[in-house]
Amino acid sequence: MTAAMAMLFHSPVDSAAAWRGELTRLAPDLDFRVWPAVGDPAEIDYALVWRPEPGLLASLPNLKLILSLGAGVDHILGDPSLPAGVPIVRLVDSDLSDAMSEYVALQVLRFHRRDLDYQAQQRAAIWRELPQKGAGERPVGLLGFGEIGRHVARRLKALGFPVSGWTRRERKVDGFVTYAGAAGLEQLLARSEILVCILPLTPATEGILCARTFAALPEGACLVNAGRGGHLIEEDLIPALDSGRLSAAALDVFRDEPLPPAHPFWRHPRILVTPHIAGVTNPRTAAPIVLDAIRRFQNRLPLPTAVDRERGY
Ligand code: GLV
């Protein structure tokens, strides 16, 4: 690592103190600055960000590389003044994939084992056994079959669920049935009793969880959204739940975060709400990955997690 490298950190949710501790332990020369205490913007080489203020990155004239604090980069690409020539890297951390897998497995098991029904029965002191299928009879469809999606799929498969995956472009994955494109989406939906979204948010995936999608699922299917709030047409969800088209939804992400207190999702009996915690970045495991990306960049080595701006991830 070269000396006098300056990094600007910006995040409304991640701990600057924890990141400073991990990064400066590994790179003692790092000049770590926390927004809004930017100092001289011309001195900033690297920006490590989550939901940067629009215009912030453009205000750093010598910025060399933008590093996302999360796996998704929609929070960066949405800035209309994003500097054109500066490469962006996503965070690919197996710890984050583990965390996402735990969250998805938790919700899939809750739906599969009828946890919401048993909770309702407990509230009414009802002792009643409900019909229960085996995991092998409960097909799960994953929208998004990249690094994280494949990790989630392996965990669900180990629990006995038949798992298939959907991607926008054809992708063969050993041990799994995969579908691609618009026709493939219909096929995946038709067989998915539990639909899990972990897609990146791009113009092509925005609003993919809509009434049309719900109508293509088996009657009474369940939805898990751990992608982005923008994947879900929020207005379509409650009517689908109230009509029985869907039987439950677990949502970790929302159009407006924090989810406003008056939002009907908070109180719907068939919706589980969590505050965007499915895959929280862990500075202990992510700091070496961030520094490695910088080292690769400095040594002009390929950046395997570089973002294709056109594709959106
Ligand atoms: C979290 O939402 C992430 O993009 O890692």
Under a CB-based contact definition with an 8 Å cutoff, are residues 179 and 164 in contact?
yes
pLDDT of residue 4: 74
Q: Are the CB atoms for 274 and 251 separated by under 8 Å?
A: yes
Q: Do 227 and 252 touch, CB atoms closer than 8 A? A: no
* H and E: helices and strands count for the chain: 9, 12
Q: Which atom of ligand 1 is nearest to the CA of 228?
A: 2
Question: In which residue are the tokens 């899939």 written?
Answer: 108
Tokens 């969880």, residue located: 209
Which pair of structure tokens corresponds to residue 22? 């991990």
Tens digit of each residue's pLDDT, the chain (313 residues): 445 799 999 999 999 999 999 999 999 999 999 999 999 999 999 999 999 999 999 999 999 999 999 999 999 999 999 999 999 999 999 999 999 999 999 999 999 999 999 999 999 999 999 999 999 999 999 999 999 999 999 999 999 999 999 999 999 999 999 999 999 999 999 999 999 999 999 999 999 999 999 999 999 999 999 999 999 999 999 999 999 999 999 999 999 999 999 999 999 999 999 999 999 999 999 999 999 999 999 999 999 999 999 999 9
Query: Ligand 1: which of 11, 92, 147, 281 to mutate, most ligand atoms within 8 Å of CB?
Result: 281
Cα–Cα dist 132/148, whole Å: 29
Domains and CATH numbers, the chain: 6-93+281-298 (3.40.50.720), 94-273 (3.40.50.720)
pLDDT at 144: 97
Query: Which of 48, 96, 205 to probe ligand 1 with, by most ligand atoms within 8 A of CB?
Result: 96
pTM over 0.75: yes
Question: Any residues with CB less than 8 A from the CB of 223 and at least 6 apart, and which?
Answer: 194, 195, 196, 197, 209, 214, 237, 246, 248, 249, 250
Length in residues, the chain: 313
Alpha helices, H only, the chain: 16-26, 74-77, 94-112, 115-123, 147-158, 181-191, 211-216, 234-242, 283-298
Of ligand 1's listed atoms, the one at least distance from the Cα of 281 is 5
Closest C-alpha to 163, from 218, 226, 108, 215? 108
Query: Which ligand 1 atom is the nearest neighbour of the CA of 70?
Result: 5
The closest of 158, 240, 143 to 201, measured between CA atoms, is 143
Q: How far is the CA of 212 from the centre of ligand 1 (A)?
A: 26
Give 193-239 as a 3 state SS string: CEEEECCCCCCCCCCCECHHHHHHCCCCEEEEECCCHHHECHHHHHH
SS3 label, residue 309: coil
142 backbone dihedrals φ, ψ, rounded to 5°: -105, 120
Cα(195) to ligand 1 centroid in Å equals: 19
| CA atoms of 309 and 311, how far apart (whole Å) | 5
Residue owning the nearest CA to atom 5 of ligand 1? 70
Query: Residue 7 Cα, ligand 1 centroid: separation in angstroms?
Result: 21
Task: Output the residue whose Cα is nearest ligand 1's atom 3.
Answer: 70
How many A from CA of 117 to the centre of ligand 1? 30
CA-closest residue to ligand 1 atom 1: 70
Adjacency order of strands within the sheet including 88-89: 31-34, 6-10, 46-49, 65-68, 88-89
Measure 206 CA to ligand 1 centroid, in angstroms.
16
CA–CA dist 148, 135 (Å, integer)? 21
User: Shortest CA distance to 88 belongs to which of 70, 61, 67, 69?
Assistant: 67
Distance 46 CA to ligand 1 centre (A): 20
In single-letter form, the type of residue at position 160 comes to G
Distance CA 9, CA 32 (A): 7
The minimum-distance atom of ligand 1 relative to the CA of 72 is: 4
Ligand 1: list residues with CB < 6 Å: 70-72, 96, 279
Dihedral angle sign, alpha carbons of residues 254, 260, 261, 265: negative
What whole-number distance in Å separates Cα of residue 288 and Cα of residue 23?
8
Tell me the C-alpha distance between 305 and 90, whole Å: 6
Enzyme catalytic residues: 228, 276
Instruction: Decide if 194 contacts 140 (C-beta within 8 A).
Output: yes
